[in-house]
Structure formats: C-alpha cells, structure tokens
Amino acid sequence: GASFGTGMERVIVAMQDPDMGMKMRNQRLLITVIPHAMTGNDVIEWLIQKYNITEEEARHLGGLLVQYGYIYPLREPRSLLLRSDDSPYRFQTPYFWTSSRWPATELDYAIYLAKKNIRKQGELVDYEKENYSILHKRINHTWDFVVMQAREQLRASKQRRKADRIVLECQEQAYWLINKPCVNMPLYYHYTTLGRNRVKSSICLESFMKYSEQYLHHDPIMSGCLPSNPWISDDTSHWTINTDMVGIPTRLRVERWSFSFMELLNDSMGRREFMIYLEKEFSAENLCFWVACEDLRHGESSKIILKVEEVYKNFLAPGAARWVNIDSKTMERTLEGIKRPHRFIMDDAQMHIYFLMKKYSYPRYLKSELYKNMLAKAIVPQETKKSVFPFMRRQRHSSPSPAMVTQATEDDGKAKGAGPTGTSSTTNSQI
C-alpha cells in the first residue's frame, strides 16, 4: 500500500538527514568494522526526540521499520526485531525498499539463491533449498541466465572491500527474508498434490454420520439440554452445573471424555482427573511435559528462551526430575534444536508424548476404576418443566466478568488463557 509506505519512507529520509538525522558511526561486527551503522538504542532515542513520543511507541515504530525492511540488523539477520541495546543496524538501500520495488520477481530470487549456493555449499536453509528446486523446475528456461548472473555478481563482489561486501550481503539477505516471492506455483503444486494420500469418499462420509450420531445428545439444538436451556428458561443452572470447579460433573460431560483423547484434554476437569490417574501409574511427567509444551507454543515470544530452558531442565536433561521417555532420534533432534530455540522446537517431542498417552494411558484410563466411579456418581439433572405462568419472566442474573475472575487469581506469567477451555483454567505445569 502506498500510504503507509511513503509515511515510513519519510521517517527514514528524516533519519538520514545530514544535519538533523541520526548520528551514525562505525560498528564492529566480529572482526570487521562496518561504516554508517547505528545501534538499536540510537534508533529509539532519535525517534523519541524527533516525534516527541513515548519509548513504547518508539519501539513499536522502530520495530515496523525493521519488519518492513527499511532498517536491517547486522547481527542475527533472521530476527527482524529492533533491540533496544547496542545491536548494530543499517539503512536498507532504496533499491530494496518494499514500496519502490516491483513485486519481487522469481528471477531475482533465483539469482540470489544461486549466488548463495555457489558461494558456499550448504548455505541454503530448508525453505530456500525447496524454493531453489521449485524455481529450477519452474523457470528452467532461464537457468543459464540465472547461473551466469550469479557467477558474475559474485566475481564483481570479490573485488569490493570486505566491509562493503558484508554490507551488500546483509542488505540482500534482509530484503529476501521479507520479500519471499508469492507462492503461485501451479506446476510444483500439482506434482505434490498428485502424490498425496487421499481417502475414499465412502469412508469420509461414514465418519460424518458417526460423529453426528455420537454427539447427538450433546447438541442442545438437536436434543435440548438439562435441566433447561438458559436462553429459554432464564435459568442458568445448566451453566453452573458445568463449570470447571464444580464438585460433581454431569454424566454427559464424563461420557464425552470417552469420545476422544482431545475431548478429555480439552476439559480442564477431565485433564485433572487424567493427571490423578497418571500419578497412580507413575507417568504423570508425560502430561506435565505436554502442558509445558503447549504453554511454550502459545505463549509470548519474549518468554520462549526461558520456557525452553525450563522444559529442558525439568523433562529432557539427563537426570531431570520429570524425565520423559522419548525415542533417541527425536531426543537427539530436539536437543540439537534447543541450541537455537524457537516456539516450535518441542513439536516433535510433544507429538511423540501425545501419541504415547493417546495409545496407552488413555484407553487404560477409560477402563480404570477412577473413570468408572466418576461416571457412576455423575449427575443427570432433572428436566425443569416450563413454568405454569409463562408470562412471568424470571430475573436474569448477571455473572462475574471473566476479566474480574482471572485478575483475582493472576498466575505467574503462564500464557493467559492457554489451553482450549480458557476461562480460569489452571494449566500450570507444576500440578
């Protein structure tokens, strides 16, 4: 869009004004000195001064400048964040400005990837390797040109000063991180989708039949609900007997836990019961691990590194208090990945443990005394008949706002509302 682009560009131009702009200096990057660079702190300070804004707003604005590629980081180029410390940044050359550029062409991108590939074997990361082979198929007719250009550009860059070369590489890399060409690749897509495993219609459609039958009595619109539908009777009993903290659950609710493992975990009471069962079986660490991984996946970006460390310490380190038993291959991969933590780093391990619980612990739980007792003592509410005087409306009571309830029981920074049931669910990993 033109409007915000030119707005950001005005800021960038102002930042580079020879008199009122930012004071730039040489920044050290390992052993090379990069000229005309600034620190993240400098950027924020300058924005605060120039526009008379708060630090929070300056951080947000600065962050956008990085996200949209007008400023790029020299250290950790893949992390497009503006750090308010002495991390070095540089202005992107106008050729690479998001707004002035044509939509990144496949040709440009192919040349860039070819250069990277020629310069150093194994330099391309996963998605780049994939894109490289897609492009090789797709614009195969231009490949001689691509390789030639890549070679020539590399040769010319060798003749530049090292500092200039590093800067150019950083500029290019920053640009392509943001501007990966659009995924509109019919040929490649068709090749992959042809190979996909598809299920016969009859099997899929049977599953719809089964599902609606299984959930029939749980669907208030299909079967009504007990003791009455609150929207009709103005009586909220149906909700109060189904809260998280209720002493004795309803029969329908406990039955639903047997429909699928996901149903059991989605209900905070079901999850608590399952945890009690696992403790008896001395395998509670599995569920704790799963909960901690969910918290990592859905939590704040800023807490990722901390949470990964915690998970490693509690569940994966040799001799950990709650060590989880995952296969050696997955463990190896996970431990390797922890060196560069991100929010999906535990996915493989989490899935392994999830399917372990689903296959072994869950069916045993459903056969256990614990579950059977729960089912036996679960209540079946009496249906409330419609009032004799239908024109007398009950008073509709208000309920405490979820915001109020959660503020009173504010936890120690665990992802707010994490977990499918959300409201006041206590998904702490130290149960």
Interface of this chain with other proteins, residues 368 to 387, rule: CB under 8 A = 380, 383
**Residue 239 near other proteins by CB under 8 A:** yes
Element (H, E) at 261: helix 261-266
**Residue 136 near other proteins by CB under 8 A:** no
Q: Of the ranges 38-46, 143-151, 281-289, 364-372, which one interacts with other proteins (CB under 8 A)?
A: 143-151
Token pair for 100: 């002035």
Q: Of the ranges 185-193, 277-285, 313-321, 367-375, which one interacts with other proteins (CB under 8 A)?
A: 185-193
Binder among 23, 120, 159, 199 for other proteins (CB under 8 A):
199
**Residue 4 near other proteins by CB under 8 A:** yes
Coil/strand/helix, residue 245? coil
- Distance from the first to the final alpha carbon of the chain: 49
The least CB distance from residue 339 to other proteins, in Å, is 19
Coil/strand/helix, residue 155? helix
The least CB distance from residue 321 to other proteins, in Å, is 26
**Residue 418 near other proteins by CB under 8 A:** yes
**CA–CA gap between residue 353 and residue 285 (Å, rounded):** 10
**Residue 158 near other proteins by CB under 8 A:** no
The least CB distance from residue 152 to other proteins, in Å, is 3
**Residue 300 near other proteins by CB under 8 A:** yes
Binder among 54, 246, 248, 344 for other proteins (CB under 8 A):
344
**Residue 26 near other proteins by CB under 8 A:** no
Q: Which is nearer to other proteins, 205 or 317 (CB)?
A: 205
**Residue 182 near other proteins by CB under 8 A:** yes
**Residue 391 near other proteins by CB under 8 A:** no
Going 303 to 308 to 314 to 320, the CA torsion angle's sign is: negative
**CA–CA gap between residue 104 and residue 138 (Å, rounded):** 16
Helices (H), 16-92: 40-51, 55-67
Q: Of the ranges 281-289, 313-321, 365-373, 397-405, which one interacts with other proteins (CB under 8 A)?
A: 397-405
Q: Of the ranges 98-106, 267-275, 314-322, 324-332, which one interacts with other proteins (CB under 8 A)?
A: 98-106
**Residue 23 near other proteins by CB under 8 A:** no
Q: Which is nearer to other proteins, 41 or 421 (CB)?
A: 421
**CA–CA gap between residue 173 and residue 164 (Å, rounded):** 14
Between the alpha carbon of residue 292 and those of residues 229, 311, 430, the distances in Å are 37, 7, 9
**Residue 107 near other proteins by CB under 8 A:** yes
Token pair for 419: 């977990």
**CA–CA gap between residue 358 and residue 348 (Å, rounded):** 15
Give the distance, in angstroms, between the CA of residue 147 and the centroid of all CA atoms in the same chain: 37
Coil/strand/helix, residue 168? helix
The least CB distance from residue 180 to other proteins, in Å, is 8
Q: Which residues of 243-269 are buried (b: 16+ CB within 10 A; e: fewer)?
A: eeeeeebbbbbbbbbbeebebbbbbbb
**Residue 77 near other proteins by CB under 8 A:** no
Binder among 33, 351, 370, 431 for other proteins (CB under 8 A):
351
Give the distance, in angstroms, between the CA of residue 32 and the centroid of all CA atoms in the same chain: 35
Binder among 25, 298, 322, 333 for other proteins (CB under 8 A):
298
8 A C-beta contact, residue 80 and residue 177: yes
**CA–CA gap between residue 252 and residue 257 (Å, rounded):** 9
Size of the site for other proteins (CB under 8 A): 126
The least CB distance from residue 332 to other proteins, in Å, is 20
Binding residues among 264-293 for other proteins as defined by CB under 8 A: none
8 A C-beta contact, residue 89 and residue 37: yes
**Residue 125 near other proteins by CB under 8 A:** no
Binding residues among 303-342 for other proteins as defined by CB under 8 A: none
